[in-house]
Amino acid sequence: MRKEFSTAIEQLAKEDESIVFITGDLGYSALENLRDTMGKRFINAGVAEQNMVGVAAGIAHKGYKVFCYSIAPFVVYRCLEQFRNDACFNNLPVFLVGNGGGYGYGIMGSSHHTLEDLACLSGLQNVNVWTPAFLDEVDPVVRNIVNNANPTYLRLGNSRISPENTYQTGSFKVIQAPENAEITIFALGPIVGNVLSALAQSAELAEKVNVVTALQFPLQITDELVTMLRKASAVMVVEEHGTTGGLAQQLSVQFLEKGIFPSAFKSIKAEGYPNSRYGSQAYHQKISGLDADSILSSIGQLMVLE
């Protein structure tokens, strides 16, 4: 999604001179277009993420809208206090952009993985969190972020183009909703690609499964989604994030408030490093049961429970 993000920012920067972009010494061979287009509004803050966010808050206080870009764990964990105190408490338009959410940076290990970012950021005051699942969502999401001008976290990853006939309802996007669905799968971000790959292995099973992605936090469940859940009441949540503070936990609260009681509930999430080894993103997804084959097996198990 990095290319789509860079293209979106470049276009917006041409339209809006209040947009400033700060990178934490990252984005080589990816962000040169922004440097050339934005001139002095493009800042390389160096390997100093805490300072980057503090500076961004000061610039935002003067009326600018500031994007802070880095590898996801660096822009989330290193500067959590500065984002909370300087940007969120003052409701300033400072936008954190984390590339490679979840296990995105693979073999580089736990220091480069982001398994708790929603837990860290989505509970802060005034914050919006965006987790696009598809490449073509990036541009409209970036424009929405700029228009809303609230403190924001944008989680980017590797993805594909949206399937046809998808549509948004509340803070969710419905990818497929067959008439005779028995299960509703909620996916966080690009991991939905593994869900779709799993369903592609069984046309019969695919006709029994709703697929929905969570696009924005705080979550907003519409009446349309409530109706869908009452018809296909077995729920599976698939996320490349830890269980605490993640999509499954936040959905559970929404279900209780809406009076939604799933007939069965299964959460598939990032399991960390159970064998104390590092590998590719695909390796870690398989260890956590987030690969297509494991998801297909879990759907079958949920069918039995339901």
At 27, phi and psi to the nearest 5? 105, 15
For residue 20, pLDDT over 80 is answered with: yes
* Model pLDDT for residues 159-178, shown as the tens digit of each residue: 899 999 999 999 999 999 99
Q: Are residues 97 and 11 in the same domain?
A: yes
Q: Which residue range(s) make up the domain with 104? A: 2-156
Q: Do 176 and 291 lie in a common domain? A: yes
Q: Which pLDDT score is estimated for 261?
A: 94
Domain boundary among 156, 191, 220: 156
pLDDT at residue 306 tops 70: no
Whether the predicted pLDDT of 75 surpasses 90: yes
Task: Read off the pLDDT of residues 273-291 as tens digits, 9 standing for 90 and up.
Answer: 999 999 999 999 999 999 9
Spell out the residues 6+ positions from residue 239 whose beta carbon is closer than 8 angstroms to its own.
187, 188, 189, 191, 246, 247, 248, 267, 268, 269, 270
CATH number at residue 60: 3.40.50.970
Residues 173 and 295 in one domain: yes
Percent of the chain's residues with pLDDT above 90: 88
Asked whether the bond before 140 is cis by omega within 30 degrees of 0, the reply is no
Q: Are residues 7 and 151 in the same domain?
A: yes
pLDDT(1) > 90: no
Confidence of residue 27 (pLDDT cuts 50, 70, 90): low
Structure tokens at 207: 């006709």
Residue 162 lies in a domain: no
Residue 201, domain CATH:
3.40.50.920
Q: What is the mean pLDDT of residues 262-268?
A: 95
Domain end call among 102, 128, 156: 156
User: In this structure, what token pair is assigned to residue 27?
Assistant: 């984005």
pTM for this predicted structure = 0.94
Query: Where a domain ends, among 156, 183, 208?
Result: 156
Q: Does residue 118 contact residue 77 with C-beta atoms inside 8 Å?
A: no
**What pLDDT does 305 receive?**
63
Residue 161 lies in a domain: no
Structural domain count, the chain: 2
37 and 101 share one domain: yes
Q: Do 9 and 93 share a domain, yes or no? A: yes
How many Å apart are CA 4 and CA 25, to the nearest integer? 19
